[in-house]
Chain A
Amino acid sequence: MGGREATMVLMDENGKRCDGRTVDEPRRIMIKAGGLKNADGSSYIEFGDNKILVGVFGPRDVHPKHMSDTDTGILRVRYHMEPFSVGERKNPAPSRREIEISKVIKEALEPAVMLEKFPRTAVDVFIEVLQADGGTRCAALTAASVALADAGIPMRDMVAAIAAGKVADTVILDVNNEEDQAGQADMPIGYMPNLEKITLLQLDGVLTPEEYKKCVQVGVDGCKLVYELQKKALNDKYFGNKGD
C-alpha cells in the first residue's frame, strides 16, 4: 500500500507527467446528465479511466422513521465500488474506506442542497463506481451534484471537485492512480464556485506552507474548469444542445 519511493518517472525533464499531461492539465472528463429510468435524477461521469454512475431519489419518506428530522430534510449518501472496478477483485461488502468516503461526500453536498425546504424527508444519493483509477471521490462528488440537479432538487450551487497534489516536488492538478500511489501528496478539493466555498478538503502527504497555498489555488482553479463541464451536461440534457 502507498509506497512513496520514486521508482517510476512521474515527471520528465520537459515537465510532462507519466500520462503525458502538463502540470495543470486535467484528464479527459465526460459528464452526462440523466440515463437511468427509475431514479429521480441520475448522471454518469468518465473522469480519465474512472467510470461512475450516480442515482438520486427524493425527497421521499424516511425509513427507518427515527432518522427523520422535523425541522429539515436529511441527505444520505452511499459510495460503493463494484467488485470488478479495481485491479484485484474487491469484496462486495462496504469497506471502512467506502464508509468514510460516503460521509465526506455527504458533508460536501449538504451545504449545496436546500434541505430545509423538505422537513421529515430524505434525499438519497447512490454512487456506484464501475471502474476506479485514482480520484474517485472527486469524480463521484462532481457527478452527484449533477444528479441532484437532474432530480430537480433546489440547490444553492453545485459542488465541483478535483484533486491537486505534489509529484517530483511540483504542484500538479488532477492526481491519477500512479501519482497517488508514488507521488508525494494528494489533496482532493470540492468547491462551490458561485458561493466561493470549499466543502470537501482532504490531504495526505507532506507540503510546505507555500506548496499548501499553491495546491489550494490550483485545486480551486481546477474545480472551476469542472464546474463548466457540469453546467454543460445539464444544458445538453435540458436545452438540447445535443447535436454539437
Chain B
Amino acid sequence: MASHTVIDELKRNQILELLEQGKRVDGRALDEAREISIETSAIPKANGSARVRLGDTEVVCGVKIQPDRPFPDTGDKGLFICTAELLPLSHPTVETGPPGPEVIELARVVDRGIRESHMIDVSQLVIEKDKSVIGVFADNVVVDYDGNLFDACSYAATAALLSSKSPKWNWVDEAPTLVEGEEVDVPITTIPVSVTMAKIGKHIIVDPNGDEWASMDARITITSDSDGNICALQKGGDDGFTQDEIVQCGEISVRVGAKIREKLKAAQQGGQ
C-alpha cells in the first residue's frame, strides 16, 4: 500500500492547488455533478430496474416485489429494504466475502435516504393486516468504481423504484394469491435525491470522483425530497465541518438535487 499513498499524496497536492484557483481536476465547477446516464428497465425479470452511470461509477439496481410477513410491531405496514454491494469486478482492491464497514455504511445510508423521505408509502403495501404484506427490495450492485457510491446507488435505486410495476395479490384461503395478468403502480409519494459533498482543505465540492474521494478530509451526504425539505443526512471522514459549512451544504444539496430530480423524472418517462 506504500506506493498507493505516494501517488495519492501527489494527486492530493494537485487537487488542492487547483481548488485554490477554484478549479477541479476534471474541469467541473465546484457545485457540479458529473454526467448522469440512466437506463431503466435494464433487467426485464425484475419488477423495476436501472443501470446508472455517474461519471465512471456504474451501478445496476433491480427491484423485487413479493409477499412477505410483516414485522411483529408493524403489521399495518409493508416492507421496504434497500441494499448495496460492491462487486469484485468494480475495482482491483475489492475482495469477495462479507462486506466491510464502508460497504455496510453505504447500504444503510442509501436505504435511510429513501426510507426517511417516505418515497414508498408502505401503509398501502398491506395484503392482510398482521398476516401478509408486500415487500419491496431494491438491491444495488456496483459494477465500476470512480468515487461517490452514495449518490450513484441512491439514483439507481430511485430510478429503479420509479420504473417499477407491482404484481397484485389478494388474500384468499389464509394465503396471498397472485392475481394473474394484473399490475399496479407502486405507491410513490416523493422523489428523494441525495447529494454528497467532500471537504478538501477549506473547499466544498459536489460529487467527488475517485481521486477526489481518496484525498478528501470529510464528506457529507444530504438527501432532500420533492418539496425541497431535507430528510436524511450522514457525515463521514476524519475532519469536521463548521456550522456555516453545514448550512451551506444544506443549500447546495437542495439546489443541485432539484436538477438531478428532473433527470430522474425524465428517465422515468423515457423508460415507459
The chain A residues found within 8 Å of chain B, CB to CB, are: 36-40, 42, 49, 51, 53-55, 57, 60, 63, 78, 80, 82-89, 92, 124, 126, 128, 130-133
Q: Cβ of A49 and Cβ of B44 under 8 Å apart?
A: yes
Q: Cβ of A82 and Cβ of B141 under 8 Å apart?
A: yes
Indicate with 1 or 0, residue by residue over B129-167, a CB within 8 angstroms of chain A CB atoms. 000000001010101111000000000000000000000
From B45, B90, B96, give the contact of A85 (CB < 8 A). Answer: B45
Given the complex of chains A and B, what is the CA–CA distance between A192 and B49 in angstroms? 36
From A39, A63, A86, A132, give the contact of B89 (CB < 8 A). Answer: A39
Q: Is B92 an interface residue (CB 8 A)?
A: yes
Within 8 A of A (CB), among B37-86: 42-46, 49, 56, 58, 60, 62-64, 66, 83, 85
Q: Is B270 an interface residue (CB 8 A)?
A: no
Which A residues are CB-close (under 8 A) to B60?
82, 130
Which A residues are CB-close (under 8 A) to B63?
84
Q: Cβ of B88 and Cβ of A92 under 8 Å apart?
A: no
Residue contacts A-B, CB under 8 angstroms, 8 given: A36-B143, A55-B89, A84-B139, A88-B66, A92-B83, A92-B85, A126-B89, A128-B89
Given the complex of chains A and B, what is the CA–CA distance between A38 and B83 in angstroms? 23
Q: Which residue of B lies closest to A93 (CB)?
A: B98
Q: Cβ of A49 and Cβ of B45 under 8 Å apart?
A: yes
**Given A38-B145, A82-B141, 19 new contacts (CB under 8 A):** A38-B144, A42-B89, A51-B42, A53-B143, A55-B88, A55-B90, A82-B60, A82-B62, A83-B64, A84-B43, A84-B137, A84-B139, A89-B137, A92-B83, A92-B85, A126-B87, A128-B143, A131-B43, A133-B45
Q: Cβ of B91 and Cβ of A38 under 8 Å apart?
A: yes
Which A residues are CB-close (under 8 A) to B143?
36, 53, 55, 128
Which A residues are CB-close (under 8 A) to B49?
84
Which A residues are CB-close (under 8 A) to B42?
51, 130
With A39-B89, A51-B43, A54-B89 known as contacts, the answer to whether A85 contacts B144 (CB < 8 A) is no
Which A residues are CB-close (under 8 A) to B43?
51, 84-85, 130-131
From B56, B62, B95, give the contact of A84 (CB < 8 A). Answer: B62
Q: Determine how close the nearest CB of chain B comes to the CB of A242; give it in whole angstroms.
A: 19
Q: Which residue of A lies closest to B97 (CB)?
A: A94
Q: Determine how close the nearest CB of chain A comes to the CB of B133; give it in whole angstroms.
A: 15
Q: Cβ of A126 and Cβ of B144 under 8 Å apart?
A: no
Which B residues are CB-close (under 8 A) to A54?
89
Q: Cβ of B89 and Cβ of A37 under 8 Å apart?
A: no
Q: Determine how close the nearest CB of chain A comes to the CB of B207; give it in whole angstroms.
A: 17
Given the complex of chains A and B, what is the CA–CA distance between A151 and B84 in angstroms? 27
Q: Cβ of A78 and Cβ of B88 under 8 Å apart?
A: yes
Given the complex of chains A and B, what is the CA–CA distance between A131 and B44 in angstroms? 8
Given the complex of chains A and B, what is the CA–CA distance between A8 and B142 in angstroms? 38
Given the complex of chains A and B, what is the CA–CA distance between A38 and B144 in angstroms? 7
Q: Which residue of A lies closest to B137 (CB)?
A: A89
Interface centre among A54, A60, A126, A133 (most CB of B within 10 A): A126
Q: Cβ of B92 and Cβ of A57 under 8 Å apart?
A: yes
Q: Determine how close the nearest CB of chain A comes to the CB of B123; give it in whole angstroms.
A: 22
Q: Determine how close the nearest CB of chain A comes to the CB of B239; give it in whole angstroms.
A: 27
Q: Cβ of B139 and Cβ of A82 under 8 Å apart?
A: yes
Within 8 A of A (CB), among B75-121: 83, 85, 87-92, 95-96
From B83, B87, B144, give the contact of A37 (CB < 8 A). Answer: B144
Q: Cβ of A84 and Cβ of B46 under 8 Å apart?
A: yes
Given the complex of chains A and B, what is the CA–CA distance between A131 and B60 in angstroms? 11
Q: Cβ of A128 and Cβ of B66 under 8 Å apart?
A: no
Given the complex of chains A and B, what is the CA–CA distance between A83 and B47 in angstroms? 12
Given the complex of chains A and B, what is the CA–CA distance between A126 and B66 in angstroms? 29
Which 6 residue pairs of A and B lie closest in terms of their CB atoms, listed nearest first? A84-B62, A55-B89, A89-B64, A126-B89, A84-B46, A83-B139
Q: Cβ of B92 and Cβ of A60 under 8 Å apart?
A: yes
Q: Determine how close the nearest CB of chain B comes to the CB of A167; give it in whole angstroms.
A: 22
Q: Cβ of A84 and Cβ of B45 under 8 Å apart?
A: yes
Given the complex of chains A and B, what is the CA–CA distance between A82 and B141 in angstroms? 8
Q: Which residue of A lies closest to B45 (CB)?
A: A131
From B58, B137, B144, B145, give the contact of A83 (CB < 8 A). Answer: B137
Q: Which residue of B lies closest to A57 (CB)?
A: B92
